[in-house]
A and B are shown apart, each in its own frame.
Chain A
Amino acid sequence: MIVSNTGKYTVVSLLVNGSSQDIMIRSADTLLCTLRNQLGLTGAKQACGNGDCGACTVLVDGKPMHSCLLLTMEALNSGITTIEGLRHSPVRQAFVDNWAIQCGYCTPGFIVNGHALVTEHPDAEDERIEEWLQSNLCRCTGYQEIKDAIKSALNANNLLDSNGIDTAEQ
């Protein structure tokens, strides 16, 4: 794939939340920028643009990634899942049930990252939870409720289908 390296745009297609979408990108566009500005998927936030906060977390082939640090063209051959595609994740409901949401700005990043944790490590203990979630910052909650949410989702993990990703509602 050759993408224009000038100010010009190139049409490419991107697999997001199970459906393939045509988009126009510059070579310098980050995945976060493309998702938000081209596809209207504004659940992922830019809170630092430097990989320091995790507010922009999306799944790339199931792995949580900081979309502010990825170029869109690096993600062209992968499947992207954003918070908008995780409506049925038990982690999302657990955040509501455990009062883990205040301003909500960090929430999509935490839920996406937490979903990946619950999917990949259904038996995660405190240490792994901690290591996994240190990439995300929250300024409102004090993290206790977020930890409770993740733990309750881990406990309820058997409700998850095999890949846990909701493809029904895009």
Chain B
Amino acid sequence: MHYGSRTTVGFAEQRIDAVEKSTGNVKYLGDKSFQGMLHAKVATSTEAHARIKSIDTSEAWKVQGVRAIVTGKTFPFPIGPILADRPPIAFDKVRYYGEPIAVIVADHPYQAKQAAGKIVAEYEPLPIVNSVEQAFQKDAPLIHEQSGQYTKLIDNVYPVPGTNIASHVKIRKGEFGKAWAVCKDTISATYSFNLSDHAAMETRTATVEINSDGRVIVHSTSQSPFTIKKIFNQFFNLDVGKVIVHIPMLGGAFGGKGAVQLEPLAYLASNAVGGKLVKLQFEREEDMMTAPCHIGFNATVKLGVNEEGKLIAGQYTFLIEAGAYSDQAAGITRAAALDCTGPYHIPNVWCDSYCMYTNHPYATSFRGYGHPELTFAIERTIDQFADKLQMDPIEFRLLNVIKPGQTTPTQSILTPNNIGDAAKCMTRAKELIGWDGKQPIVSENGLVRAKGVALFWKTSTTSTNAQAGAILKFEADGTVTLTSAAVELGQGTKTILAQIAAERLKMNVSDIHVTMEVNTQYTPHQWRTVASSTTFLAGNAVLAAADDAIRQLKRIGAVALQCSEEDLDVGNGRVYIKAKPDIGINIETVALGYKYPNGHTVGGQVIGIGVHVQRHLTPMDKETGFGDPGPWWSVGAQAVEIEWDESNYHYKIVKAVTVLDGGTIINPMTAAQQMRGGIFLGLSIARGESFEFNEQGVIQNPDLRTYQLMRFGEQPDEYIVEFVETPAEDGPFGARGIGEYGVIGAAAALANGLSLATNVELTQLPLTPELIWRTRRAAYDPV
């Protein structure tokens, strides 16, 4: 491994996409238009749960410019990434308000929209399941009567037929029952919140065209180009090689663009018009109501300690609200289970994690994949327990923090190499927030200041064969073009990969040209751009490709310099003799092969190829959860200081601290961007974001006016970001993943601080002034 003095890894190289983005010249998918393109629009369900009696398209057909109308009858089969339970267009039943019931194709978008408004569906209403708690009740109306018959696409999904449980994942470690009986003290608490939205500024878009030779060309705002190929292969019976997916840069994703929803719709639409290119672009309201959203959550946490205050037993019951279809919520159910304890050593663990159907829009992955949610429940419980035990909450955390040598809930053994230093993160966050145990502080004008902390962890739950590849193609001038299927969605991944390549090749990062778009026809396979996995997987692939290129450069260089390959080194644009660095040749003279003075040429173009695949990951045992689900755990601590106004229950966020151990930081500025953006997103959701449903299961706030994102001026007055860098031996230059981590502790830290300030235990999100008022009234002024 190369830990010598570095020239670009660890440095704040400017993002390679920044200048072009600032000029407005970057073409996102919605900015591209294609000759002769048609436009699709979805007509959506006006019922949350109903049998479809009929769909009348006759009035819609009368709108000028309409070319096709597709309903669920065209393709009445369920699809899905984990459990195939969702027909792309509702068939027989609708299961949420806003679900597609027809797709209209027309010459212009406004014509398709007009026609969509003229689709008339007749429904037979069914009882609505309007909350995850209701869904869990024994006699709840069934949303999927056939869940036992759905095809499973991956391991570790266990529907319970005859219930609304789409999956039940269990963790059984140690002997929880026995340990619970001997605990010195225990606590139990329940938490909940509703579905919410990713609200990436760019709404989802897809185009599909089917060539006359059967090739299917997809352009999409997707984090999962190869999943689109897989799903088209599995469900539309298309050859994988005939499905070509293009992904431009994305205008934000946050996990919401990992789901495959629009592409099948656009495919069915294109198919209906003889393969012509059809574009389907969601407007904001559709992006919120029809496209997949962020899970809802209900958790009960029970913890027990021994005499010394050490946690010896933990029980966790998670109801993950999937909404109408399981999509990635089934995977989140598993991810939440396998990290259920948070970064604490607890020898006896019992966890039941349920993926629950309701008649709400369906959920998919969201930055953190179940961890911001479980961390909210765990860290609030830790704070309440510390209070009960009359311990300082940070001391209580440090006493129980997990360390190398101990095991995770799935009994994976932790080593200094696969987990960061959680205690160090906590201690540093404590200093940065100025924690002195004296709080809350009430000023004369009724303003209450308090600080809250949260400790968190997360592994990267990829499939066991998740992988990425990279190609480094040398140009005639000795510079390099880097190609991989890592999607640039704002996180800066292309810059990071360029730095990794430049470091290993000992080149300037400006001499690495990175292909910004993904085209599955020439980019190597990559699992997906999710799960904070890209720096690790694609970064390692880039290193392997660089090593491959270096071997080739030395081989050709040895011919040119008439020496053996072992004598040579590569760096600073040259291949040179190690012992005599002034004897060498410029890379450009070997990049396309070495040409002798007489014209004879040896070698040919240098093209480095590298692949990296996860090592030794295993599925989890069905009964106990035993297994190795992830390669490493990044850990961190966050702290928030708030100022709450007793007179009107409003509050502002004064300070937001993040300390993360993600191994070596490749680029401190893009990493800081991710941490600030992460805690901001987490705070925004925790503070004000939630879908509101009426009795009919209809979202009441499906737009950016009534759904409250944090606006300019409402962000914390100050963000502080620091990194602890415990290197991972098998990560590129020692890096683990960091992309999701900034978001994970935000809600928990905010809720902990606010609970202190307001002197009530806040157990729900979002933390609105109204929620605080209601909670206080219930505690102090029960009617």
List residues of A whose CB falls within 8 A of some B CB.
7, 28, 36-37, 41-50, 52-53, 55, 82-84, 87, 92-93, 95-96, 99, 101-108, 111, 130-131, 133-134, 136-147
Contact = CB atoms under 8 A, between A and B. Distances in A.
Q: Do most interface residues of chain B lie in helix, strand or loop, or is the interface mixed?
A: loop
A141 B677 contact: yes
B201 A45 contact: yes
A106 B27 contact: no
Nearest to B715: A143
Contacts of A103: 200-202, 249-253, 489-490
Contacts of B26: 104
B15 interface: yes
Interface stretch (B342-350, B558-566, B702-710): B702-710
A164 B711 CA distance: 27
A41 B31 CA distance: 9
A101 B251 CA distance: 11
Contact of B18 (A28, A41, A101, A142): A101
A140 B253 CA distance: 9
B36 interface: no
Contacts of A92: 22-23
Interface string B243-254: 000000111111
A82 B25 CA distance: 11
A84 B24 CA distance: 6
Given A104-B17, A142-B715, A142-B719, A99 B669 contact: yes
Contact of A134 (B21, B491, B712): B712
B655 to A, nearest CB: 12
A143 B676 CA distance: 9
B19 interface: yes
A92 B21 CA distance: 10
Interface of B: 14-15, 17-19, 21-28, 30-31, 33, 64, 110, 199-203, 249-254, 283-284, 489-492, 669-670, 672-673, 676-677, 679-681, 703-705, 709-713, 715-716, 719
B254 A139 contact: yes
Given A37-B33, A143-B712, 14 more contacts: A36-B31, A42-B24, A44-B24, A45-B28, A45-B30, A47-B284, A84-B23, A101-B17, A104-B21, A104-B490, A107-B21, A133-B713, A137-B709, A144-B719
Contact of B284 (A36, A43, A48): A48
A102 B490 contact: yes
B676 A83 contact: no
Contacts of A47: 201-203, 251, 284, 704
11 contacts: A28-B110, A52-B284, A53-B704, A55-B201, A83-B24, A99-B18, A101-B18, A106-B201, A111-B22, A139-B254, A145-B673
Given A102-B491, A108-B24, A96 B18 contact: yes
A55 B202 CA distance: 10
Contacts of A139: 199-201, 252, 254, 681, 709
B284 A49 contact: yes
B251 A52 contact: no
Contacts of B704: 47-48, 50, 52-53, 137
A99 B201 contact: no
Nearest to A26: B110
Contacts of A146: 712
A134 B19 contact: no
A95 B24 CA distance: 12
Contacts of B703: 48, 50, 52
B201 A145 contact: no
A99 B33 CA distance: 30
Contacts of B18: 95-96, 99, 101, 104
A42 B708 CA distance: 27
A126 to B, nearest CB: 9
Given A83-B24, A139-B199, A102 B715 contact: no
A140 B712 CA distance: 12
Given A53-B704, A96-B18, A104-B26, A42 B31 contact: yes
Contact of A50 (B489, B490, B705): B705
Nearest to B24: A43
B28 to A, nearest CB: 7
A115 B44 CA distance: 40
A46 B680 CA distance: 23
A42 B27 CA distance: 8
B202 A137 contact: no
B202 A87 contact: no
Nearest to B250: A103
Nearest to B64: A7
Among A55, A105, A137, chain B packs the most CB atoms within 10 A around the CB of: A105
B452 to A, nearest CB: 18
The 7 closest A-B pairs by CB, nearest first: A43-B24, A103-B490, A105-B251, A104-B21, A142-B680, A83-B24, A42-B31
Interface centre among B28, B283, B710, B712 (most CB of A within 10 A): B712
A134 B22 CA distance: 20
B621 to A, nearest CB: 39
Contacts of B254: 139
A167 B492 CA distance: 32
Nearest to A147: B712
Contacts of A55: 201
Contacts of A144: 676, 715-716, 719
A140 B252 contact: yes
Nearest to B711: A134
Contacts of A105: 28, 200-202, 251-252, 490
Interface centre among A45, A106, A131 (most CB of B within 10 A): A45
A92 to B, nearest CB: 5
Contacts of B15: 99, 101
B689 to A, nearest CB: 11
B588 to A, nearest CB: 30
